[in-house]
């Protein structure tokens, strides 16, 4: 039986209701969700899906960017990801929630984006795409480097990495 726990495809009706409640009452719901996770009543991938609604609480940063919980940022034909000290900090938090390290997640994301798309049934976007004007690109790259991001990959085109 095929069981893909890497890519979450859609939300249940309960999850949709929970999304709005978490956004409005983070401090109330976060301890409850953590308890469910630790007691085995919630899958860790569901916890991650809901954690993007914990923003701006930075202690729940489970990916390279807090607000969108993304792994990659694409600027034109360059793909950036977090690195080093920031990655270590994120990985230690991910471990407490039974999640794989970012290095493993990057492997899965790369496979997901670079496989033969003719056999694809959709999936989850692991990255954030920015399409700013030429004047802003250098500034964006400088800010990314200052925040601890590194160039992960040079792409063959400026087409969004996660699209067909």
99 and 29, same structural domain?
Answer: no
151 and 118, same structural domain?
Answer: yes
Share of the chain above pLDDT 90, in %: 5
Q: pLDDT tens for residues 27-50? A: 888 888 889 889 988 888 888 777
**Phi, psi at 123, each rounded to 5°:** 160, -170
pTM of model > 0.75: no
87 and 56, same structural domain?
Answer: no
In a domain? residue 131: yes
Q: Name residues whose C-beta falls within 8 Å of residue 34's C-beta, 6 or more positions apart in sequence.
A: 47
In a domain? residue 1: no
User: How far is it, in rounded angstroms, from Cα 140 to Cα 146?
Assistant: 10
136 and 81, same structural domain?
Answer: yes
> Bigger pLDDT: 71 or 38?
38
Cα torsion angle, 124, 130, 131, 137, sign: negative
147 and 83, same structural domain?
Answer: yes
In a domain? residue 100: yes
Domain that holds residue 23: 11-60
> What pLDDT is attached to residue 91?
92
Q: Which residues partner with 130 through β-bridges? A: 75
User: How far is it, in rounded angstroms, from Cα 71 to Cα 85?
Assistant: 15
In a domain? residue 68: yes
Share of the chain above pLDDT 70, in %: 73
In a domain? residue 4: no
> For residue 95, what are its two tokens?
């471990």
123 and 81, same structural domain?
Answer: yes
Task: Using the predicted structure, report yes or no on whether residue 105 has a pLDDT greater than 50.
Answer: yes
Q: What is the mean pLDDT of the chain?
A: 76
107 and 158, same structural domain?
Answer: yes
83 and 156, same structural domain?
Answer: yes
> What pLDDT is attached to residue 92?
92
User: How far is it, in rounded angstroms, from Cα 24 to Cα 39?
Assistant: 24
Q: pLDDT tens for residues 114-142? A: 776 665 555 444 455 556 666 677 888 88
In a domain? residue 3: no
Domain boundary among 44, 60, 76: 60
155 and 77, same structural domain?
Answer: yes
120 and 66, same structural domain?
Answer: yes
What mean pLDDT do residues 88-108 have?
Answer: 88
81 and 36, same structural domain?
Answer: no
> What pLDDT is attached to residue 58?
65
Task: Using the predicted structure, report yes or no on whether residue 18 has a pLDDT greater than 60.
Answer: yes
- Domain tally for the chain? 2
Task: Using the predicted structure, report yes or no on whether residue 3 has a pLDDT greater than 50.
Answer: no
Is 44:37 a contact under the CB 8 Å cutoff? Answer: yes
């Amino acid at each position: 039986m095929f069981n893909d726990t890497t890519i979450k495809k859609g939300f249940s009706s309960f999850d949709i209701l929970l999304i709005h409640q978490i956004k409005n009452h983070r401090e109330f719901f976060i301890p409850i969700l953590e308890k469910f996770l630790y007691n085995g009543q919630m899958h860790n991938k569901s916890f991650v899906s809901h954690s993007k609604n914990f923003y701006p609480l930075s202690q729940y940063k489970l990916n390279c960017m807090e607000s969108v919980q993304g792994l990659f940022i694409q600027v034109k034909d360059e793909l950036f990801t977090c690195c080093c000290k920031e990655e270590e900090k994120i990985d230690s938090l991910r471990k407490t929630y039974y999640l794989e390290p970012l290095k493993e997640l990057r492997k899965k994301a790369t496979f997901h984006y670079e496989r033969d798309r003719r056999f694809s049934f959709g999936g989850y976007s692991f990255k954030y795409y920015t399409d700013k004007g030429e004047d802003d690109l250098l500034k964006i790259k400088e800010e990314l480097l200052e925040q601890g991001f590194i160039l992960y990959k040079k792409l063959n085109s400026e087409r969004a990495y996660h699209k067909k």
